[in-house]
Structure 1
């Protein structure tokens, strides 16, 4: 079982990454600057405190009677143990005493006197210094937030440019996949900057060229083989007509005719693959045209015109599509009911009541020389629907396939449904696809 996939855009991934890195750097630098500034200010306070104590010591030693002044004390009982130890060693020193309540620390300074007493001075850390630290912290917070938002905006800008290039490449690759082999992904991406997107585009273009060359080579081989077979098959069919009447003769004629039909279908597929076919357009009433052609091709089919519409299309190619769809339904879709043909505006539906299209065809579309599963008879060469789809592309139309709801479900009768969507406007280039709303 696949896990739940979270889809996010490249621009947001880049923006989050830059914002996260910016936040990490900003917090780190803020802590470093805060601590460095605090240490520097405390060191300066200690120096000032020691200078004051030395001045008070001079006054104390030269005055009579000897009295501590300027806030100094003799043998202060609150002297921190660290300074007390220094005094016993005969050294002077300073000390920062922190408070548990989080208030400003006390700055101590102490010196040993000649008579063994200790002269000390302690004052709270200056309010002005604390204010400066608060202002510095506020500035660091504002700077950090600005860096995060600025990094996020930069990430969106950079990621947006990369995302646009990737979307252009994906759209161009999609057009190539639809058969528009003239599209160059590198040209679609554009831009002055050269990055990995250009390498991807060049790789896709190279792959497209290689595939086009291979497909063209296969098409030429197929067309050449079919051309070479046409003459001997025609001769075989002519020779079969000269055979005496009888069952063997009928079998030979039937197989020769089937071979000839196959050769003609292969040639038609090769022409459609070459994208050289052009539609000869005429204005026709679609419902009336379909009804007449279906009556001629399959008198047992049921035709229903829901809404008549005039279309500009190629009647010969449209008849070829209808013929192939009806032949496929008659061959593979035998069921309890007749083939149903429905015309609604520019949409033509052909439905049978058989087992339905195989999953491979619904997933990948019709493929030559593949007839699908055996439940649709497993006969033929898989060229009928391939030719119908190719002719639809020439008309600028779209041919889709689906299966009706199976029997036993509400309103379901089973069967395969082929839907031909004719374009609103006549095609200007071979193989164009109209943008249609699928209301089926």
Structure 2
């Protein structure tokens, strides 16, 4: 429809332009077709116009190839050449009276034929002469032009419509492939579907976005399956050990053969330890099951990182008997979930204590928002450092030690939510150093109680 309107507008403009040119050419021909004054004066007698008899006009040739008639100031006319007298208009009378030099207009003859007439004043007389030619010579050309333009416009519209359909189908073919891929994905849940994307147009961008979406979904499904498999593997070990210990206790009661008190206490302590490990593992899984965009379990508030570190050190000292923990903590306030922040520091300290040699020392320092926890253990090989924050990942050297491999994942998640960064790296002189950086300020706002103080934006450090 848009092409048809455009073609019709162009055809109409061309028609009117040609019509104007043809009329201008006809007017110019009428101006050049001047009737000699002597010929006109012969027909004027005592101020009156006398028409040439029709028989004489028919017998004599028309040297001007036009209709020529005289118009006097009273509006009377007499024909000199031609067969049909022309109607006199007010413009013709105005020229005869000398009010205008010339007048160009369309006029209808007595037989109904339309003429193009040019009226010019006769000098030194009270009359004007009108020279006219039929408009049929223009109209016939315009009719032929209209027919040609109509045919060309119709062919152009049909051709444009056919080309538009072909182009639309070709352009929408990638959309059809995308729709088929989406329908296939919805029907089969096959996330391996990929759409070929070429170019940089909107369809190609949409195809690449779809491929990226399916790749992300496939990666998410793979991670979910891996999490389930890893969680099942980690749960199987404490459950197996606990089942064996409980079986021994049940068999002792059923057979009536009591276990020695020391062995019974060891079995019960092992069961209690395995239950605690299961509870911790389930808590870690619940924490990691929340998406990163989900809100924290507790409200974010301004809390002292140094205070959370002090509490974590106190808990780590109870667990790591025989390991000395030294601290040097400068005040630093951050916006975070206090319980999660303390748990993250505890996890870092537990790792440091776990890998420290007997009688070793763990050094904890906090300065300008950077917490460093350094141990003097065997260290982590450089090839294993990129994987330490992965879920369930455990170093081959630490597989025999207690733990689920989720602690550092929880640390990374907590620090990321607080807008900070954390990394493990080899320490100078041996051992491993954990570096945790959080944006904050060395002093809290003074106007509110510490538990409700807003974060001081003028001291904000972007991590």
TM-score tier by shorter-chain length is 0.3 to 0.5
Q: Considering only CA atoms, is the larger Rg found in Structure 1 or Structure 2?
A: 2
Question: Relative contact order (alpha carbons < 8 A, sep ≥ 6): 1 or 2 greater?
Answer: 1
How high is the TM-score relative to the length of structure 2? Answer: 0.41
How high is the TM-score relative to the length of structure 1? Answer: 0.43
